Structure 1
Amino acid sequence: MSGYVENFKMPASLFTPLRIGNMELSHRVILAPCTRCRSPEQVPGDLNVEYYSQRATKGGLLITEATFISPRAGTFARVPGIFEKDQIEGWKEVTSAVHAKGGYVFLQLWYTGRCPPDVSEYQPLSSSNKRLEGCCPFNPNQIPFAEPKPMDLEDMKQVCSEYGQAASNAVVAGFDGVEIHAANGYLIDQFLCDNINDRQDEFGGSVENRARFPLMIFDAMIQSVGAHRVGIRLSPFGNVHGAADSDPYATWGYVCKEIEKRKVAYVHLVEPRHHDLFQTTEQKLAFLKGSAARMGRDVEDALTLRPFKQVLKSTPTIVAGGGLETAMNTFLEGEADALAFGRFFIANADLPLRLQHGLPLNKWDRSLFYTPGPTGYTDYPLAVA
C-alpha cells in the first residue's frame, strides 16, 4: 500500500466522553459511512466482519456503508442490504465483532431514488420525473440513469413502511441504531431540493411541504425502534447527483428545527466544499452576501454549519467532510460535538489512536475504493503491529 502522508494530532477534548442516544462514547472520532462494494450478492461476509472489526475501538462509534432497505432501493453491485434473512445474519457477524471490542455501530439506511442506472426491473421513485443526466459511475458499462416515477401517496406509505422494517431488522441484527441517508442527492434530498422537487401538491413548493415526506420517513423509523436509536445524515450544500437548493439555510434550518423536536440520537452534517458549489469567486461572493442577508447574520456565518448547530441545541451534532485541519477547526469552534472521517478511516483502521498521539497517517488509494477484493480494504498497515 502507499506510504505515509502526514502527522496530525487532534486536540485532547476530542478524546473525551460524549452521550449519543443511550450510548456513552469514550471518544469523538467516528467512522463516516463509506460505500465500499465488498458484499457479493448484497450479503455481508467475512471480509466485512474483518473491515469493521479493524476499525472498532472501546467506546467508539462506527457508521456503516449505506445499505439498501429493499430490492427497489438501489441496484449498485456488491452493496449490502438489510431486507433478507441472510443479510440480517451476515450483519449479525459484523455487529458481534464490533461489540466484542467494546465498540458501537449504527447501520446507514439507503434509498437511492432517481440515481440507479436503467437496468432494474423497478422504475426508480423520486419527487418528480426529472431524470439525472449522464451515466451511473458505479456501472462499468456506462448505462444512463433511468427516468424516475413521481411518487404518489401509496408509494410514500410503502417506502415509509420499508424504512421502518429495515430499522427493525437492523436492531435484530445487533446494531445499536440506524442512520437515515438523507444526503448526497438520493431520495430524501430529491424531495428537499427545489431544483428537483417541482411538485404542485402538499409535498412540493414550500419548505414545509418539501420536508413533509422526509419527516414521515424519519417518524416511521422512530416509531419502529425509538428516537434514541435514530440518526440522520444531511448535506445542505451537497451539490451531488444534481441536487441543489436555492436557499439551503431556510430548507435545512427548518429540517433541523423539526429534528430537534424529536430528541433523536444525532444529526450528521456534511461540511460544505466551496469548490463544488461555485465556478467563480464572483458566484461565491454573491451567494455569501445573499445568504447572510436572508439569515440576518454576518457574512462569515454563510457557507458554514454554524446556523444549523445553533438550532440543534440538545441534539448531538456529528460533522464530516474536508481535511484534518478543517475538521479540527470545526470542532474547536463548537460547530461539532464529534467528527466523522471517511477517507482517513479507510486508510487508517486505527485512526483514533493515530490522531490522539500524532502518529503518521497512511495515504488512501482512491482507485481501490470500490474494487471487489481485500486489496485497499483490509490491508492498510496499522501503526502498532
Structure 2
Amino acid sequence: MASEFLWYVIPREGAYPWEPEGRRPVDLGYLRQLAGAVDRLGFSGALLATDLYDVWPLGSALAASTSPRFKPLLAVHPGLISPTLLAKTALTFDALFGGRLRFNVVNGSTRALKEYGLHLEHDERYALSAEYWSIVKRLTAGEVFDHHGRFYRLENAGASLRELTPVQEPYIPLWFGGSSPAGIEMAAEQVDVYLTWAEPPHLLKEKLDRVRERAAAHGRRLRFGLRVHLIVRDTEDEAWAAADRLLRVTSEATYARQLGAKAAEDGVGWQRQFGGHGGRVPDRARELEEHPNLWPGMSLFRPGPGTAVVGSTAQVTDRLREYESLGIDTFILSGNPLLEEAYRVAETVLPALGVRV
C-alpha cells in the first residue's frame, strides 16, 4: 500500500486535550515513551508540529532516544530566523542523528506571524517562503554562494558551514502543504513532498492534479502525503459514538474560540476545511459526514487538520486505500490519546495495509 506512515507528537496529549479535563500531564519522559512506541510500532517517524514546545529541542531529545528509523518531521516557519542559521541548526541535527531530519514547511497566517514581527500578507508569505527555502536547500547541500533577492541579501553564504558535511543528498527534504494558487506554485517550485489535509476524494483529486500540472511546468515531480486524524473502533457504530462523545465533552467556550479563529483565517486550506461544517455544531457527529467515513468535525474544536476518518478497521483501511489511489504515498496519522491510539492503529489498520509491526 503506502510507502510510509508517520504518527504525530505534540505535548498536548489526552482523550480530548483541547479541554483541561481531557488533558494528561506530559513531561520529557512521557514524550520519550510516545516516540519510543511510534518507533517500535512500524511508523517511520513523526510530525512534530508547532505547538507549546519549540520543535528543535523536542526533536533533538526524541531523536536521541529513538532508533535510526525514527525520522522527525519538524515544523518550521520560514522567515523567523536567518536561513543561514536555520541551515546550521539543521546540518548540526543531521550530523548528530545520522541524516534523519525532514522539514515540514509551515507558512502560518498573517495574523499569527505578527506576534513574531513578520508582517506579510498572504501571497507575500509564499514569496518569502520560496526564496527562503531555495536558500536553505543550497546551504544544506553544502554550497557557498552570494544571494541578492527580494527578501534576503547574503554574502558568501555557507562559508562558515564548510566543515559541516551534509549527510542527506541533495539537501534536507522539504514537506509542505498549501491550497492557494500561491501555495501550490511555491510547492511546485521548491518542495519534495506535497502535504494535504483530508478532503472528499473528488475535491482532493482536483487539487492534486493542479499541483502535478504546476510541478510539471517547472520540470519537477512531487510525492504526495495526507495528514489525517483517525477514529477507528471495532465497529462503525462504536467509532461514530466516539465522535459523538467528542462533541459532548467540548465546552461552549472552546467552540466559540475555535470557530471565531477559523472564520478570521486567511489560509485557503483553513477555508476549505471550514466549509465542511460552516461553523455549525451538530447534535450528532454523523450529520457532518461529507463522504463515507469522512468527518470534518474535528476542526470545530481543535486547530490544525480537522478532518477525521471515522469507522471500523475495514472502513478506515478502505478510505486510506481510496486516497492511495489518488497518488498519496505517505500518511501522517493521529488519534487521541496519541499513545494509546498509536498502538490501536498499529495493531489494526497498519497490518491491514501490509505494514509489518
* TM score, norm. by length of structure 1: 0.45
More helix by share: 2
* TM score, norm. by length of structure 2: 0.48
